[in-house]
Structure 1
């Protein structure tokens, strides 16, 4: 008899993947990263260009793995398959097929992870443990099937983030997820190095609708200039199309938005003849718009809207995506806003708008924005306006691609242009003073998370 904690049995894994089990075993979790293996996990020994998971089998079992999926002979309990990458997909497909959960798929140029986390919190709030979501930013060709494979068969709701940087990628992912609700947060010039235009990005994001379950719902940003393009992309697949945003005519619209004393926003949402008032803990106008999409998605899957409002009021910032803390200095404290995970022109502007609301001297540590292709110089230079508008008193620009911004800021505000995160940290530590508000943001490869981590050693509390 299967234990309640059992996610997969060896028999089920073999059936799903077409493999052969060496011995009976049960697993309570799934991972392909040997560093994340814990007691009772299934370890998938994936073979990639850079590494081979089979090299880490002994380590995985030393850490408590209960079984493995392998494509080579192994001394540990395992399911032998011909291709472990294909087996991962098969396990994800089987997990999706055996579960009756209402599934939401989320994509967009900005706000995917925050929206996914907020949806999970909103759906899990009434009855904790009944919702499942992809963790971290597992949104690619391996992360999505892994997140599916981790979904308990008893889940009532599943929320999955899907990303892409080339056309065709989302079409494959959405057919794995098969969402009942597919949501696009926004369209912005991210990954412009791989696309000829922003409209082409919209087309690629619109691929998410191709996997919608029959009768499912497409949720589209009303205020986007690509709204009609997304609607046309959804029409062949969706049973219903809903829009969200601030504009008059959006199906889920913010009719009132007032900043609270704690930096969040009190919102009244109107949809049809209904209204819902709630507080969003996260600061920024972009969160007001995202919250309308979140309410639309919760409504579409039959979730509890009042509980969703409570979840949004309780939700703190995510590491690298808006988390805040106070750093202790010799004579006081400074606010640190951690947006270090990633950056593109739209998200830079949104977080600078948030910084503008903070009291005290405003400092930015901004890393270069990558994958912008031929548009890179212009997009970097154009940040000078939002930086000035935010009232930034000092800017630390990090990376070679920040040179056009440095040139644009010359004579306008105080700044320094440095090569790397270590130099940026040294400069920041030399000028940081009590009462300062510091925004740290850049593409992940710039490693500005190291700046945040160093400041985190001085943490007094989260805000």
Structure 2
């Protein structure tokens, strides 16, 4: 395996660094639990832990070197001493971006960032070597580590950028220097910190800061914030703007789609060219984001037809809509796992998918929801406002947890009410005990609501995976 970074390249990027011995690193990490042989380990200081406490272990496990800002007692191996390890990570990320010849895409949005990033990675990888952010590495640590990991031979790079407070996106966007940026949508997400949807839109629009020459902005043409976002893009010097969605004015336009519980058949016009494809993930939100992703592929100069064919293989990931068929009570149940995160937009999208998912004979639709976090003073109203979508989903029984879900509980029809509990730990057993063969159960909530506990309880109560 060729070196991702040599000590000489690290020295050139980090002029203030003092390196104790030459090295070649084949990977980079800040997580001591994930250190592999040949990795460059960054000892970052966080709110609760200090990476310097894991340097000795990282080196003993084969790390090529460790980036530190102070002496580490007992460390046996190569050290890269810098004044500040976080700043060093950012600087090395900038160096990784400068040396790269890849065409770069950046992705943000209130909903669908990670799914769109993953779809882009799949499509572009079919054409040429592609690097993309792993998991949800979209913050002040995740973005620079993703840039540092950008292989020198990559031809495409896809970087997710997130936020939950004002002022977070622009510095990350300036590190990425994308050729194409997409904002999937804007909704009342993190509104407790941001104050308004307009403020969220303005922050998302900072994705276009520091973009490369002749950059392209890809925006949701159906969004009421489209013009606001287009204005932000122009403020940052981006002149080519591509809209996607159902709107007749969209350059990447949905013509038709046949929505099914196992995916969708889609027809779209991408700059006037009709493309028909199968999408392996269910839901209209997936359809619209796939069209936005195809607009990004076109703007990057990749083969759109070849990319669209790959979308049949794209599936929702665990916690983000993955579907599991489980043995249960002499038959099976279907589990829709959306436990990773939730906001008013994504919950409605999930409920629409649940409505189109037919239970087996004798089965029901069952719903388990945890609180949506960071919605500010209007949190109870946002939760209560889901009542119409819950009713339309056809859920026969609804199980809720968290203080804000009490507001939705009060709006449910009495026949729909399962139980309301203070947290997911208290709720998990109730949901698992209520299920019977033939049911479809959907689970969703903000990460802080820990709805994976409910998913795990359902899986534990089952007889394991069933073949489809």
TM-score between the two structures when normalised by the length of structure 1: 0.96
State how many pairs are aligned.
457
Bigger mean CA deviation after superposition, 348-357 or 299-308: 299-308
Aligned equivalent of 1:72, options 70, 73, 76? 70
1:460 aligns with 2:458: no
1:390 aligns with 2:390: no
Shift in Å, 1:310: 1.9
Q: Which residue of 2 aligns with 1:116?
A: 117
Shift in Å, 1:168: 1.4
Distance between the aligned counterparts of 2:413 and 2:258, measured in 1? 36
Distance between the aligned counterparts of 2:387 and 2:10, measured in 1? 54
1:448 aligns with 2:451: yes
Asked if the contact 1:316–1:323 (Cα under 8 Å) also holds between the matched residues in 2, the reply is yes
1:8 aligns with 2:5: yes
Q: Which residue of 2 aligns with 1:84?
A: 85
Q: Which residue of 2 aligns with 1:376?
A: 379
Asked if the contact 1:324–1:462 (Cα under 8 Å) also holds between the matched residues in 2, the reply is no
1:106 aligns with 2:107: yes
How has the CA–CA distance of structure 1 residues 124 and 342 changed in structure 2, closer, same or farther, with 3 Å as cutoff? same
Asked if the contact 2:133–2:160 (Cα under 8 Å) also holds between the matched residues in 1, the reply is yes
Shift in Å, 1:61: 2.2
How has the CA–CA distance of structure 1 residues 65 and 40 changed in structure 2, closer, same or farther, with 3 Å as cutoff? same
Q: Which residue of 2 aligns with 1:34?
A: 32
Distance between the aligned counterparts of 2:323 and 2:64, measured in 1? 38
Shift in Å, 1:122: 0.5
Distance between the aligned counterparts of 1:62 and 1:79, measured in 2? 16
Q: Which residue of 2 aligns with 1:248?
A: 248
Shift in Å, 1:161: 0.3
Q: Which residue of 2 aligns with 1:424?
A: 427
Distance between the aligned counterparts of 1:410 and 1:421, measured in 2? 22
1:212 aligns with 2:211: yes
How has the CA–CA distance of structure 1 residues 50 and 462 changed in structure 2, closer, same or farther, with 3 Å as cutoff? farther
Q: Give SS of 2:209's match.
A: helix
Bigger mean CA deviation after superposition, 403-412 or 77-86: 403-412
Specify every segment of 5 or more residues in structure 2 that has no aligned partner in the other structure, as ranges.
Answer: none
The root-mean-square deviation of aligned C-alpha atoms, in Å, is: 1.4
Asked if the contact 1:325–1:462 (Cα under 8 Å) also holds between the matched residues in 2, the reply is no
Asked if the contact 2:369–2:399 (Cα under 8 Å) also holds between the matched residues in 1, the reply is yes
Distance between the aligned counterparts of 2:251 and 2:94, measured in 1? 33
Shift in Å, 1:408: 1.2
Shift in Å, 1:462: 7.6
Q: Deviations along 1:148-169, whole A, 9 cap, x unmatched?
A: 1111011000000000112211
Distance between the aligned counterparts of 2:467 and 2:349, measured in 1? 21
Q: Give SS of 1:172's match.
A: helix
Bigger mean CA deviation after superposition, 186-195 or 271-280: 271-280
Q: Which residue of 2 aligns with 1:272?
A: 271
Shift in Å, 1:317: 1.4
Aligned equivalent of 1:411, options 411, 414, 427? 414
Q: Which residue of 2 aligns with 1:154?
A: 153
How has the CA–CA distance of structure 1 residues 63 and 462 changed in structure 2, closer, same or farther, with 3 Å as cutoff? farther
Distance between the aligned counterparts of 2:339 and 2:467, measured in 1? 16
Shift in Å, 1:450: 2.3
Bigger mean CA deviation after superposition, 450-459 or 98-107: 450-459
Aligned equivalent of 1:45, options 35, 43, 60? 43
Shift in Å, 1:20: 1.4
Q: Which residue of 2 aligns with 1:364?
A: 367
Shift in Å, 1:410: 5.0
Q: Which residue of 2 aligns with 1:93?
A: 94
How has the CA–CA distance of structure 1 residues 462 and 405 changed in structure 2, closer, same or farther, with 3 Å as cutoff? farther
Shift in Å, 1:461: 4.8
How has the CA–CA distance of structure 1 residues 162 and 355 changed in structure 2, closer, same or farther, with 3 Å as cutoff? same
TM-score between the two structures when normalised by the length of structure 2: 0.95
Q: Which residue of 1 aligns with 2:310?
A: 311
Shift in Å, 1:232: 0.8
Distance between the aligned counterparts of 2:457 and 2:331, measured in 1? 17
Distance between the aligned counterparts of 1:24 and 1:364, measured in 2? 57
Q: Give SS of 2:159's match.
A: strand
Shift in Å, 1:367: 0.6
Trace 1:271-290 onto structure 2 (pairs within 5 A). 271-290=270-289
Shift in Å, 1:396: 1.0
Distance between the aligned counterparts of 1:318 and 1:272, measured in 2? 30
Distance between the aligned counterparts of 1:338 and 1:286, measured in 2? 16
Distance between the aligned counterparts of 1:338 and 1:62, measured in 2? 38
Distance between the aligned counterparts of 2:339 and 2:209, measured in 1? 32
How has the CA–CA distance of structure 1 residues 308 and 456 changed in structure 2, closer, same or farther, with 3 Å as cutoff? farther
Q: Which residue of 2 aligns with 1:164?
A: 163
